[in-house]
């Protein structure tokens, strides 16, 4: 199993994502300027401040050469995980529905939040213990999930909402408490919380590991060893 983690200028959590993935498989960095996914089995678009968050979060990064390959990979059914800024980039790239808007407080907010797994039968959540909340930190200024109302209803009906903030834990006014959402095909997933920062009991929680373990299990099922 080989994870690839994209590095844009201004990415900050790419090494954290690499460390998290390395607990479960190989993990390599994919350079933004190269059109080469290096044969990875899954792509992580990490958190941080790609291009300084300038202009609009995720707006510039989605044009990076490597993103063309990521889009191809996704179209072919490859698993793509976007975390925080990565989620924003995937929305901008049209690989995920909706958009992320500024937090109503207009502030950066760091907080350990609890999440409910809305679906535990997807490539990104299959290893999550059923019925159990995940404790994972959020840290962002622009994390309010938004989609027009009809689109929201469609997303809910289609089962594309995979993670929700638990009652009282929505830090940013995301509509319908949506914390993580997938594309219609189910192979691209974005979330604002940072599972890569919840993989070690010493740093607070191990609940994020199940997201990466889900990806590993999914890849293992698809590619007989």
Partner 1 sequence: MRARVLVKPKAGILDPQGQAVERALPALGFDGVHNVHVGRLIDLDVEDPGRLPEMCERLLTNPLIEDYEIVEVAGQPQGSAA
Partner 2 sequence: MSNVADPVPRHRELGLTDAEYELILNGLRREPSPTELAMLSLMWSEHCAYKHSKKLLRRLPTEGPHVLMGPGENAGVVDVGGGFGVAFKVESHNHPSAVEPFQGAATGVGGILRDVFAVGARPIAVLDSLRFGEPAQSSRSRYLLERAVAGIGHYGNSIGVPTVGGEIYFEPSYEQNCLINAMCLGLAPHDRLIRSAAAGPGNVLVLLGALTGRDGIGGASVLASAELGEGDAAKRPSVQIGDPFAEKKLLECCLELLDSELLVSLQDLGAAGLTSSASEMAAKGGVGLDIDVTRVPLREAGMEPFEIMVSESQERMLCVVEPGRVSEVIAVCERWETLATPIGEVTETGRMLVRAGREIAADLPVGILVDDCPLYDLEPAPPAAGLYPPGPVRLDPSLGGGETLLGLLASANIASRRPVFEQYDPIVQSRTVRRPDQADAAVLMLGDGDGDGAVRPALAVSIDGNGRRVACDPRTGAAEAVLECAANLACVGAEPLGLTNCLNFGNPEKPHVAWQLVEAVEGITEACLALGVPVVGGNVSLYNEGPGGPILPTPVIGMVGRLPDARRAAQTGFAAAGDAIALVGEFAPLSAGSELAKLRGHPPEGALPVLDFDAARAAHATVRDGIRSGALTSAHDIAEGGLAVAAAECCIAGRIGAVLRVPADLDVFAEAPGRAFLVSGPEAALEGLPIIGRVGGPALELGDVLKVAVSELAEARERGLVGFV
Sketch the per residue contact string, 110 through 149, with partner 1: x for CB under 8 A, - otherwise.
----------------------------------x-xxx-
CA 88 to chain centre: 9
42 Rama class: left (phi>0) / alpha (psi -120 to 50) / beta: beta
Subset of 13-32 contacting partner 2 (CB under 8 A): 13, 15-16, 19, 22-23
Cα–Cα distance measured from residue 192 to residue 24, given in angstroms and rounded to the nearest whole number: 22
And the tokens for 172?
């940013």
- When CB distances are held under 5 to 8 angstroms depending on the partner's kind, the choice from partner 1, partner 2, none that residue 197 binds is partner 2
- Choosing from 203, 220, 221, 222, the residue that interacts with partner 2 (CB under 8 A) is 203
- Choosing from 6, 37, 64, 179, the residue that interacts with partner 1 (CB under 8 A) is 64
Q: Interface with partner 1 includes 104 (CB under 8 A)?
A: yes
Q: Interface with partner 1 includes 105 (CB under 8 A)?
A: yes
Q: Interface with partner 2 includes 197 (CB under 8 A)?
A: yes
And the tokens for 91?
């929305």
Token look-up 């909706």 returns 98
Taking the complex as a whole, the smallest distance from the CB of residue 110 to partner 2 amounts, in Å, to 5
Sketch the per residue contact string, 152 through 191, with partner 1: x for CB under 8 A, - otherwise.
---------------------x------------------
Q: Which one of the spans 87-95, 161-169, 174-182, 194-202 is the region binding partner 2 (CB under 8 A)?
A: 194-202
**Do 195 and 209 contact (CB within 8 A), yes or no?**
yes
And the tokens for 94?
């049209």
Q: Show which residues are catalytic.
A: 84, 194, 196
Subset of 92-121 contacting partner 2 (CB under 8 A): 107-111
Residue 177, φ and ψ in degrees, nearest 5: 60, 25
Task: Give the footprint of partner 1 on this chain (CB under 8 A).
Answer: 33, 51-52, 54-56, 59-60, 63-65, 92, 98-99, 101-106, 144, 146-148, 173
- Name the residues that contact partner 2, by CB under 8 A: 9-13, 15-16, 19, 22-23, 48-49, 51-54, 107-111, 137, 139, 194, 196-197, 200, 202-204
């Amino acid at each position: 199993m080989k994870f690839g983690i994209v590095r844009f200028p201004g990415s900050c959590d790419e090494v954290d994502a690499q460390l998290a993935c390395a607990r479960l498989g190989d993990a390599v960095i994919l350079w933004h300027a190269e059109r080469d996914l290096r044969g990875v089995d899954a792509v992580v678009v990490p958190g941080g401040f790609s291009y300084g968050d300038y202009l609009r979060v995720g707006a510039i990064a989605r044009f990076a050469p490597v993103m063309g390959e990521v889009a191809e990979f996704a179209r072919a059914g490859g698993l793509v995980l976007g975390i925080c800024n990565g989620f924003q980039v995937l929305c901008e790239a049209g690989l995920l529905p909706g958009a992320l808007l500024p937090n109503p407080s207009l502030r950066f907010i760091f907080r350990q939040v609890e999440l409910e797994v809305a679906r535990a039968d997807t490539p990104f959540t299959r290893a999550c213990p059923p019925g159990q909340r995940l404790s994972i930190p959020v840290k962002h200024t622009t994390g309010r999930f938004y989609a027009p109302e009809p689109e929201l209803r469609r997303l809910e009906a289609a089962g594309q909402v995979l993670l929700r903030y638990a009652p009282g834990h929505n830090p940013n006014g995301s509509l319908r408490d949506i914390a993580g959402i997938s594309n219609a095909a189910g192979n691209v997933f974005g979330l604002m919380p940072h599972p890569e920062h919840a993989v070690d009991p010493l740093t607070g929680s191990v609940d994020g590991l199940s997201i990466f373990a889900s990806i590993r299990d999914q890849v293992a099922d698809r590619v007989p060893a």
